[in-house]
Copies of this chain bind each other. A is one copy, B any other.
Amino acid sequence: MLLTALEFLGLVAFAASGALAAVRARLDVFGVVVVGLTTALGGGVMRDVMLGIHPPTSLRNWPYLATCAVTALTVFVFHPQVARLRRGMLLADALGLGVFATAGTTTALNYGAPVYAACLIGMTSGIGGGAVRDLLLREIPLVLRREIYAVAALAGATLVGVGYVLRLPSAATTVVAAAVVVALRVLALWRRWNAPVAKDAS
Q: A145-B31, A195-B30, A198-B79 are in contact. Are A55 and B108 (CB under 8 A)?
A: yes
Chain A interface, DSSP helix/strand/loop, else mixed: helix
Neighbouring B residues of A111 by C-beta, 8 Å: 54-55
**Chain B contacts for A198, CB-based, 8 A:** 23, 26, 29, 32, 76-77, 79
Known: A28-B196, A45-B50, A197-B28. A55 touches B113 (CB 8 A): yes
CB distance from A179 to the nearest CB of B (A): 21
B65–A26 contact, CB under 8 A? Answer: no
Query: Cα distance A32–B199 when bound, in Å?
Result: 13
In the complex, the answer to whether A120 meets B31 with C-beta atoms within 8 Å is: no
- Point out the residues of chain B lying under 8 angstroms from A162, CB to CB: none
Which of the segments A6-14, A85-93, A129-137, A163-171 contacts the partner chain? Answer: A129-137
Taking a contact as CB atoms under 8 Å apart, the answer to whether B55 and A54 are in contact is: no
25 sample A-B contacts, Cβ–Cβ < 8 Å, listed by A number: A23-B198, A23-B201, A24-B202, A25-B140, A26-B197, A27-B197, A28-B195, A29-B198, A30-B151, A30-B195, A34-B144, A49-B49, A50-B56, A50-B59, A51-B54, A52-B52, A52-B55, A55-B111, A55-B121, A62-B116, A65-B116, A131-B136, A135-B136, A136-B140, A138-B140
